[in-house]
């Protein structure tokens, strides 16, 4: 019997978070500093949902819609709730959901607590590791 590969085996656990009230400039600075394309937006309370903000969302807001990077906040732009999956499910189900909904990254939670982030890039790297 082949071993099931779980989301927790493929996801990134070193996740950078930001508060919803941070400015878009602060979000971009953090992305630049950490070399990231997205940030997880923190919950406001234990029963709240995590959000996600991507460089594409910021790009669209600032360049296309001519928003002010100094005045706009993360909460003006981010997606909440972020799509999320459990770290304990088979990675194929996470991949299927992501591909069916054209989602590039999902937040990984267990009991509504942040565990990591799973991206299409992580899935591609995993797939490539199978053919080494």
* Burial of residue 42, with CB atoms counted within 10 A of its CB: 0-12 exposed, 13-18 middle, 19 or more buried: middle
Say if 1 falls within a structural domain: no
Say if 100 falls within a structural domain: yes
- Residue span of the structural domain in which 38 resides: 7-129
- Least Cα distance to 83 among 65, 69, 95 occurs for 95
Kindly report the backbone phi and psi dihedral angles of residue 48, in degrees, each rounded to the nearest multiple of 5, phi listed first.
-75, 170
Number of independent structural domains in the chain: 1
Say if 102 falls within a structural domain: yes
The pTM of this model reads 0.89
Say if 2 falls within a structural domain: no
Say if 101 falls within a structural domain: yes
Kindly report the backbone phi and psi dihedral angles of residue 2, in degrees, each rounded to the nearest multiple of 5, phi listed first.
-80, 145
- The token duo for 21 is 């009230």
pLDDT of amino acid 1:
54
CA 30 to chain centre: 14
The CATH number given to whatever domain includes residue 58 is 3.10.580.10
- Least Cα distance to 83 among 57, 109, 54, 59 occurs for 109
- Least Cα distance to 27 among 80, 72, 65 occurs for 72
Confidence of residue 10 (pLDDT cuts 50, 70, 90): very high
pLDDT in tens, 21-64: 999 999 999 999 999 999 999 999 999 999 999 999 999 998 88
Say if 80 falls within a structural domain: yes
């Amino acid at each position: 019997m082949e071993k099931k590969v779980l989301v927790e085996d493929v996801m990134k656990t070193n996740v950078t978070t930001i508060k919803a009230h941070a400015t878009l400039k602060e979000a971009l600075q953090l992305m630049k500093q950490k070399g990231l394309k997205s940030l997880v937006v923190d919950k406001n309370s234990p029963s709240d949902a995590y959000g996600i903000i991507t460089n594409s969302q910021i790009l669209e807001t600032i360049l296309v819609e001519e928003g002010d990077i100094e005045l706009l906040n993360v909460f003006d732009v981010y997606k909440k709730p972020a799509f999320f999956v459990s770290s304990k499910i088979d990675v194929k189900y996470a991949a299927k959901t992501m591909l069916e909904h054209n989602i590039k990254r999902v937040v990984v939670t267990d009991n509504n607590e942040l565990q990591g982030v799973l991206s299409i890039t992580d899935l591609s790297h995993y797939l490539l590791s199978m053919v080494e």
